[in-house]
Amino acid sequence: MSTYKKILLALDLSAESEQLQDKARELATTNQAELHIVHVIEPLSFAYGGDVPMDLTSIQEQLDEHAKKKLELFCDSLGYPVTTKQVATGQTESEIHRIAKELEIDLIIVGSHGRHGIALLLGSTANGILHGATCDVLAIRIKEEAE
């Protein structure tokens, strides 16, 4: 019996996201698990505090389309069947928790930039995902491009 039947890989779609491919594929293969992939875009109104006196709808739509294309390329190069892939809009940790609960996920995989110090151990996003998750969370250490 496998430990994880449903795995959610949460990506930021940066160049470093490719570092998560091998481990996610290996875990999914070993457990014969469904692999779900999500990328969350925070609304521009969050980034600018909601006080920007202009319509950001078209810019938000462009960001969504760009993210969908990058997510599609990532999934194509993964080498494992992806059950669902989605670009969600909202607060990153909340959206990942919502999707994990909705899909009855057993394991969430996130990348973690190895910052120094206890407070920065996982980084704010990975830390937020860890502390609000109702399932296991695997934080994979991301090596910076310069390393």
pLDDT at 7: 98
pLDDT at 52: 53
pLDDT at 100: 97
DSSP string, 28-48: HHHHT-EEEEEEEE--HHHHT
Its pTM stands at 0.84
Are the beta carbons of 143 and 111 closer than 8 angstroms?
no
- Between residues 45 and 111, which one has the greater pLDDT? 111
3-47 pLDDT, tens digit per residue, is 899 999 999 998 888 889 999 999 999 999 999 999 999 887 655
48-98 pLDDT, tens digit per residue, is 555 556 667 788 889 999 999 999 999 999 999 999 999 999 999 999 999
- Is the pLDDT confidence value at 137 over 70? yes
Calpha distance 128→141 (Å, rounded):
16
Within 10 Å of residue 77's Cβ, how many Cβ atoms?
A: 9
pLDDT at 120: 43
Q: Residue 32: which of 83, 87, 75, 73 has the closest Cα?
A: 83
Q: Which domains does the chain show, CATH number per domain? A: 6-142 (3.40.50.620)
